């Protein structure tokens, strides 16, 4: 796509041009450490794995990813630079994808900062590193799903707070649809096909499947399809609202 690289570099550099990016990364790393070693009972479990580390990612991302994505398009619309961006010799699809990829890479940088936790578990025991690699892959894919949703919502409003709140609610719904309590409620009265359908839309269901170390093609298809759908919706949202 023409101009994709230009948009990607512009957006990625914009993240690190202000202290906000570094504050976000520090908060992300601190929260991961707290949830892994204290809330998750890493040492008390006496097991050489990173399950306590990964099991909180769906909930951390639910708060932190909308904070990243809320500015992607809302800021452009509020500052009046969206019209200028659309007049550049860059396709709208390239702009959407470039912004998304920049946010995704930024998230990947933050996730890479948790590498010392991986080193710690290898120092203390003999973990199955294949499972850990699968966990990181699943975490990154899930972050991409959250980002695609947040990017689309950001394109619908000038207000970043509104974009954050709506993105959070949608992400929460995707997480909650696979929560055992919700599944049990539907299982009590709904046919199994409905229960399975609701569960199939859950980030938790697919992420927990990847955490087992077996990367099922169905889980990869789910995340890639979800990202593609919301990015396509992102393009449509800008087309519809670009004159507003």
pLDDT tens-digit series, residues 86-119: 777 778 888 899 999 999 999 999 999 999 888 8
Which tokens hold the place of 27?
């908060």
Query: Which residues, including other chains, have CB under 8 Å from residue 31's CB and lie 6 or more apart?
Result: 60, 64
pLDDT tens over the chain, length 244 residues: 667 888 888 888 888 888 878 888 999 999 888 888 887 677 777 676 788 888 889 989 988 999 888 888 888 777 777 777 777 777 888 889 999 999 999 999 999 999 988 888 888 778 888 888 999 999 999 999 999 999 999 988 888 899 999 999 999 988 887 777 777 777 776 677 777 777 777 888 888 888 888 888 988 999 999 999 999 999 998 888 765 5
Q: How many degrees, rounded to 5, is the angle at CA 231 between CA 109 and CA 104?
A: 0
Check if the beta carbon of residue 64 is closer than 8 Å to that of residue 24: yes
- Domain-wise residue ranges, the chain: 4-241
């Amino acid at each position: 796509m023409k101009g994709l690289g230009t948009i990607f570099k512009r957006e990625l550099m914009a993240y690190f041009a202000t202290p906000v990016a570094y504050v976000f990364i520090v908060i992300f790393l601190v929260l991961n450490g707290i949830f892994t070693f204290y809330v998750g009972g890493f040492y008390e479990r006496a097991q050489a794995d990173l399950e306590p580390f990964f099991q909180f990612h769906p909930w951390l991302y639910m708060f932190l990813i909308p904070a990243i994505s809320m500015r992607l398009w809302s800021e452009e619309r509020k500052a009046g630079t969206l019209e200028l961006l659309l007049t550049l010799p860059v396709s709208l699809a390239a702009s959407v994808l470039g912004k998304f990829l920049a946010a995704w890479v930024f998230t990947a940088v933050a996730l890479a900062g948790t590498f010392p936790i991986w080193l710690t578990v290898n120092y203390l025991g003999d973990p199955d590193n294949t499972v850990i690699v699968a966990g990181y892959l699943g975490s990154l894919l899930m972050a991409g799903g959250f980002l695609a949703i947040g990017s689309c919502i950001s394109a619908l409003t000038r207000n970043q707070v509104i974009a954050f709140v709506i993105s959070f609610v949608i992400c929460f719904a995707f997480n909650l649809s696979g929560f055992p309590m919700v599944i049990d409620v539907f299982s009590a009265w709904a046919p199994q096909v409905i229960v399975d359908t609701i569960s199939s839309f859950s980030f938790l269901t697919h992420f927990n499947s990847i955490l087992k170390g077996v990367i099922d093609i169905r889980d990869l298809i789910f995340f890639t399809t979800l990202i593609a759908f919301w990015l396509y919706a992102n393009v449509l949202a800008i087309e519809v609202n670009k004159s507003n």
